[in-house]
Amino acid sequence: MTEIASIVRDAWANALELSLGDDGEHFFELGGSSLQAAMFVADLRDKGINVSLATIFEDGRLSAVIEQASFDEHA
């Protein structure tokens, strides 16, 4: 597992207040709200990771978020 995947997975679990599952999990099917999604993205940005909130709304799977995430070059 890459460093970025590990950070995203941990932030995902924290945002949803759940144990880590598999990468096919869907944010909203697990009970996530739009506010939690925004907080999740903000938490990742605080950790120096860029991810689009739109990815969560358009796809919602953890694997899609991990694939889209990148380290902020300006952090």
pTM of this structure? 0.89
pLDDT > 90: what percent of the chain? 83
Cα torsion at 57, 34, 46, 9 (round to 10°)? -60
Q: Are 69 and 44 in contact (CB under 8 A)?
A: yes
Distance CA 75, CA 39 (A): 18
pLDDT at 70: 95
Q: How many domains would you assign to the chain? A: 1
For 60, the domain range is 3-71
pLDDT at 75 over 70: no
CATH number at residue 28: 1.10.1200.10
> Across all residues in the chain, what is the average pLDDT?
92
